[in-house]
Amino acid sequence: MEVDKNYRIDANFRWLGSQIKANEELCLTVCGIEQCKPDKYYGPAVREDYHVHFVLRGKGTLEIGGRSYQLQRGQIFVIPPGIETYYYSDPKDPWHYTWISFGGTRAAYFLEKAGITVENPVRDTFIEPERFLEITENILNHHALTVANELLRTSLLYEIISLLIDSYNQHMNAQGQKKTYDYSPDVYVNTAIEYIREHYSHAKVSEIASFIGISRYYLTHIFK
């Protein structure tokens, strides 16, 4: 059954699509949820945008760049633009996944911040994959072609990317990896100075660092 030309639903999947918009930082193109049939495959094919899949249940295989990945619940795999890929569900335990697809001038940058690159197209979700499913369902539920819904869908895309980056950072911190910061030291120093000016009478180093989102050690280091 077809609800409108951009939204489709049947017993196995829900799907919402739109076109890439030039020069946008991030632009939703497709998202959906699918309970795949055994041995269902896609490709070999080359995409024009990024397709990020979150495996909810079952198993499947991704073939990309001469490598093969066996995937299951709690894993993420990305189909980058311009690279031939082939992926298929397991014959006995086919995967059930949700996916979000997007383009944009900063799409590759945001995915790299989330630990996903062309060289490393697979990672764990590090959180329950249903968190991503809930957001995708919210996008699909606002499929009506209105400006308000378009803005909401875009905001939910940003929420998914934010969750990807945050879950990756938390995992890296838990592994004891050295924390990297997103902005230059000058940005943090200037923000700290503004905070001190506003709270001079009772500002503490720990409070300043917490407000900015960096460690006390790093704040002290960049001030020196």
Quickly state the pLDDT bin for 1 (edges 50, 70, 90): very low
* Sheet with strand 13-17: strands edge to edge: 2-4, 7-9, 13-17, 27-35, 96-103, 50-57, 75-79, 122-124
For 187, the token pair is 């940005």
What is the C-alpha separation between 31 and 33, in angstroms, rounded?
Answer: 7
Per-residue pLDDT tens over the stretch 140-153: 999 888 889 989 99
pLDDT for residue 10 is more than 80 = no
Average predicted confidence (pLDDT) for the chain: 87
Residue in 216, 221, 161, 213 with CA at minimum distance from that of residue 182: 213
Quickly state the pLDDT bin for 4 (edges 50, 70, 90): very low
Per-residue pLDDT tens over the stretch 154-202: 999 999 999 999 999 889 888 776 667 776 777 777 777 777 877 777 7
Greater model confidence, 45 or 15: 45
What is the C-alpha separation between 6 and 15, in angstroms, rounded?
Answer: 8
pLDDT for residue 2 is more than 60 = no
Q: pLDDT at position 223, please?
A: 74
Q: What is the C-alpha end-to-end distance of the chain, expressed in Å?
A: 64
What is the C-alpha separation between 25 and 104, in angstroms, rounded?
Answer: 5
pTM, 2 dp:
0.83
Burial class (CB in 10 A: 0-12, 13-18, 19+), 183: exposed
Across residues 96-112, what is the average pLDDT?
94
Can you say how many angstroms the Cα of residue 203 is from the centroid of all Cα atoms in its chain? 36
